[in-house]
A and B are shown apart, each in its own frame.
Chain A
Amino acid sequence: MLTSSRPLLAASLGLFLAGLAPGLTAAQEPSAAPPAGVETHIGLIYRTQPAPASYDAEAVPEDEGVAGGRMAVRDNNTTGRFTKQTYALDEVALTSEQGTEAAVTAARNLAAKGIRYLVLALPAAEVLAVSDAVKAEGVTVFNTAAPDDVLRAAECRANVFHVIPSRAMQTDALAQFFRLMRWTKMFLIVGPNEPDRLYAEAFKNSAKKFSLKISAEKPWTFGPLARARGDTPTRAEAMVFTRGLDYELAIVADEANDWGDYVPFRTVDPRPVAGTQGLIATTWHPTLETWGAAQAQNRFRRLAGRLMRPLDYQVWAAIRTVGEAATQKKTADPAVLVPYFKDPAFGLPAYKGVSLSYRPWDQQLRQPIVVAQAKAMVSVAPEQGFIHQRTPLDTLGVDQPETACKLR
């Protein structure tokens, strides 16, 4: 299903124009008719969420990610008025039933239409399949949804830039905070899925890096209890399996959100919970308002009618990467922009107080990471005191000397 955000954009520009005071000349207005041929199309392939259950307090919105992309294109166009650059978003929504082949076909179609910047909100295997399929056409891919470290290591690709922080960055952010708080004994609970195993592995590496101890580890074997209804009989064994362990903090590895939220306040000993639920590491949070984030939150809410989510922010940052580089270089030509993304001179202001930039060794976006509980920001990593010869941001994730990435 190929959709386009153009009608939406046109409608909102129309509103904008209608609000102008009379007497203003056309010269100041957003260029309704840009010079032909300079419009930069950015592709976005994402997968719609299956319909939620009859009642789901936090159902994933249908436009998750896409709404962030629409805001970014608007932001690019507002700036583009002054640089005579215009942008359009070509959205492709895949259903959850459609396989990798559909994603590859969609990408090929976009490439055939001349698209050279492609944003993917897809899992790791599809990021690889798509980026390899369109490499020959010179398409640059932005990965906004796959945190897999392997994409930044053995399976890294020269035409893929990673906006979403790797798992290593996410768990390093938490580990730095625990180190700061001197909470050092961790009980790791690992879910049944492969991403959970990978998250646990990343957490173990972070623990080593920041001198934390995994004092206990157990698999979660009680099913998706966080999704259970209130009248479901309580699984007693799930409540007692934390008995007799020596730990300060329970770390849950549950990327599917199946059971992690079941754990807080159900451990035998009173212990805080962190990891994929409880205290989390994220790129964006409803309570983030400093560094101009309040403006982005408001702008997004007006546009999408809901709160901005991490995936919205990641897609926004990917598209703003193109816009920001194009403003600086005064062209949208990939031959100029793609090398510039990795140039030390490139910086993306993105409501984090510092410029974000891409690590040249694995093309991962370096960024501060928000450490938050459901209702409040708790901290922002890198924490004070963690220093690095280049930038404190490089204390999060895999550094240049350790990288296994050979860009090709």
Chain B
Amino acid sequence: MKFKGLFPVLFLLLVLTAVVSLTLGKYPVPLQDTARFFLFRLFGVGNISPEYYQILGNLLVDIRLPRILAAILIGASLSVSGAAFQAMFVNPLVSPGLLGVLAGASFGAALGMVFSKTWVAVQACSFLFGFAAVLISVGIAKMHKGNTILLLVLGGVISGALFTSLLSIIKYIADPYNQLPAIVQWLMGGLSLVDRATILAVGIPQIVSIIMITLFSGYLNALSMGDEEARALGVPVEWVRMLLIFLATLMSALTVVVAGMIGWVGLIIPHIARMLVGPNNKILIPASALIGAIYLVVVDDVSRLLFNVEIPIGITTSLIGIPFFAFILRKAKRGWN
């Protein structure tokens, strides 16, 4: 393996980023205090005054830690999902956002929020409509003959627009005093309301999906050579791709449930990872997971620290992602035609 040293380095970088992020905020906690707190809390080593312990506990464990874990999960999920979609559709231009998954999931989640109050319903709706959105994108692309890469992007645009309009209907009929502001704020993307229960509810399926996709990465390589070659290489294309669409949609739809629409991560991180480690999905998928996690933790730090008011993270990722993608488009385009 060429990249043996890479994963420990990326992992270390992720841990470092997470630890530094713990200390950052409106009330900065010095690194040594953070270390003392965790040493005391986990191993009972050292001593801290009870009041300070209480404050730190609230700040670090109840507020910042869930937020950082959520950022890690969301960054990893969007990136892995993007890398998987790009490989399985032989299309470096797609991502959960561009395939309409995020729009579909947003509509589903909003629907769940307005008509039902349970988490399970919100999650299930969000997944179902995210999945419907991909199928519509793919269906539209398949209906026509021509440049498959462009057609799938167009299919995604159409499917995304459809669910965005449906979402507008929900916004229109939502109660304008409570539900509407809640939906709008949540959609712009934010991690400030994340708690431990949410992380458990979405984190487990997301981690399982990441592991499954990593395990299937050899098949992803074959799929990225096109359907016919993949089948001639012995891959049962139909059900393998259905399963992979299922996993990639599940993990990215759940990010919407937690933090709204976070665009561009699923598109640019796989490209960055591919520039670093090459296109072999056996390495690309785990590398995308780690790089995406680091990226989103950093972007969340920027969102909450740059100005006095927190900027919704979905806005920050777009503001960073769009110019960056425009910049790498030329380099990323090599070898598509």
Partners in one complex: no
